[in-house]
Chains A and B, each alone.
Chain A
Amino acid sequence: MTNQTTINLEINGQAHTLVVEPRVTLLDALRDHLELTGTKKGCDQGQCGACTVHVDGERVLSCLTLAVQVEGRAVTTIEGLSDPGAELHPVQSAFLEHDAFQCGYCTPGQIMSAVSCIREGHAGSDDEIREYMSGNLCRCGAYPHIVEAVREAAKVMS
């Protein structure tokens, strides 16, 4: 048995107890230990934003966060953005309506980031949306539609 530690995490309002090595990132804990694979592993180096989740309501990169660091903090992933069977979150609906993706791999990170971008009050203009969404890369180049979706979702959420 290597260096393992027991941690208690609150993910999407549910308590989970995990046994992990301290070096395990929040991203790997979500995907490999909790089977919450909505959060994507893109670069795994803090450059692409695909792994964006919310910790205590703020967007962060789960690939550069240790799972053990977020004990006692509330984590929200794309799976927890709207309740199962309930209506989609306005940002999710806007991404569908505006066709704001092609392959979809960056989409969960884009949506988590967009929710924060709007909440932070940084969706006031297309330029501001582009600036404050710049931490989320889209290799397919769906940026124009992503900006449209964020702009429209911001109207619904205001």
Chain B
Amino acid sequence: MRDFSYLRASSVDEALSAASMPATMLLAGGTTLLDLAKCGVNAPERVVDITHLKGLDAIRVDAKGAFIGALAKMSRVAADPAILAEFPAVSEALWQAASAQIRNMATIGGNLLQRTRCAYFRDPASFPACNKRVPGSGCSAMEGVNRGHAVLGTSDACIATYPGDLAAALVAFDAVVHLGERKVPIDDFFLLPGTTPHKEHAMHPGEMITAITIPASAAARHSTYLKVRDRQSYEFAAASAAVGIEFEADHETIRDIRIGLGGVATKPWRARTVEDALRGKVLEPDTIKSASRLAVEGAIAHGGNHYKIELAPRVVERAILKSGALA
């Protein structure tokens, strides 16, 4: 890890002005920043510690929805009784992410900003070419070991998976990312790799996530997060789905359904075609099965990750059935 200078910010303004300097990174939980610094991917000259800022870790839930400060720890949000009651998929996504230690360290803002990454990206010593690290240098994953890579939202430049669980739930329920006064819907916050995979989000230099909000909805209240992975815990999703359903008064016709996917795409993925196919329909197994297939429309595999095209619709299907039973 290259040495850097360290500044402990005492106000948001101080953090923002320091972060506007070149080669400067904000440090919150540190679980991505320091990991990637050790790998030689991050080499900041200045690190600005924002963990001592006061008042940025609030968690509030009211009739309008949830407000979660950027510095709230994953473990606290996961355990918050009001979040669990109003947004169970958010709570489940959080406690199934990472490990208990990492959830005690990592913040909600930092969780969103964890890099969209793969093993080749993390290993510059062995694989100097990486379009995400060095734009235009190439990609070893396309023909390499790509079992964990994305099948949706990929480009010729990059097929790395956005690995976060939380954002899959947030994208389903139309969360909004607060960058101080500027507010960005989460689906617009994350960018597709296209020809610029090094640009992962819509933040401008010198901006900082201060909070996220999630509007209340009946679908969010009756939601669940299903994560399928190679080992039972402390593992990234092979495929995951956050699903929430609201029924009409007849308790079987779908009024509203929200579906976010994790582990299969280059950004947190909203499965709108599946939602459109199911809205107004009666929840029954054959309808769900055929609609769930739409989740992988346009998917492209690169060999090792072909199984995800089969797996993702099954995960969606199971999550819909589970969510339907809750509604």
Contact = CB atoms under 8 A, between A and B. Distances in A.
Interface in A91-141: 113, 116-117, 120, 122, 130-136
A59 B30 CA distance: 15
B47 interface: yes
B38 to A, nearest CB: 6
Interface string A39-83: 000001110010010000011110111101100100000000000
Given A5-B6, A23-B2, A25-B34, A69 B101 contact: no
A131 B233 contact: yes
Interface residues of A, number: 35
Interface string B9-38: 000000000000000000101110011011
A3 B8 CA distance: 16
Nearest to B44: A23
B119 interface: no
Contacts of B232: 130-131, 134
A131 B227 CA distance: 14
Nearest to A53: B101
Nearest to B30: A64
Interface string A10-30: 000000000001110100000
Interface string B92-113: 0000001111101100000000
Nearest to B49: A69
B5 A58 contact: no
A45 B35 contact: yes
B51 A49 contact: no
Contact of A60 (B5, B6, B104): B104
Question: Does more than half of chain B's interface fall in helix, strand or loop, or is it mixed?
Answer: mixed
Given A64-B30, A65-B105, A134 B5 contact: no
Contacts of A52: 101
B307 interface: no
Interface residues of B, number: 31
Interface in B212-238: 232-234
Given A2-B3, A23-B1, A23-B2, A60 B234 contact: no
Contact of A134 (B1, B30, B39, B233): B233
Contact of B100 (A2, A5, A23, A135): A135
B4 interface: yes
A52 B75 CA distance: 16
B101 A135 contact: yes
Given A5-B6, A23-B3, A69-B51, A61 B102 contact: yes
A60 B101 contact: yes
A35 to B, nearest CB: 22
A3 B47 CA distance: 13
A117 B105 contact: no
Interface of A: 2-3, 5, 21-23, 25, 44-46, 49, 52, 58-61, 63-66, 68-69, 72, 113, 116-117, 120, 122, 130-136
Given A3-B4, A45-B39, A65-B34, 7 more contacts: A2-B3, A22-B3, A59-B101, A61-B31, A61-B105, A117-B100, A135-B101
User: What 4 pairs between A and B have smallest CB-CB spacing?
Assistant: A135-B99, A22-B6, A134-B233, A134-B234
7 contacts: A3-B4, A23-B37, A60-B105, A64-B102, A65-B105, A132-B100, A135-B98
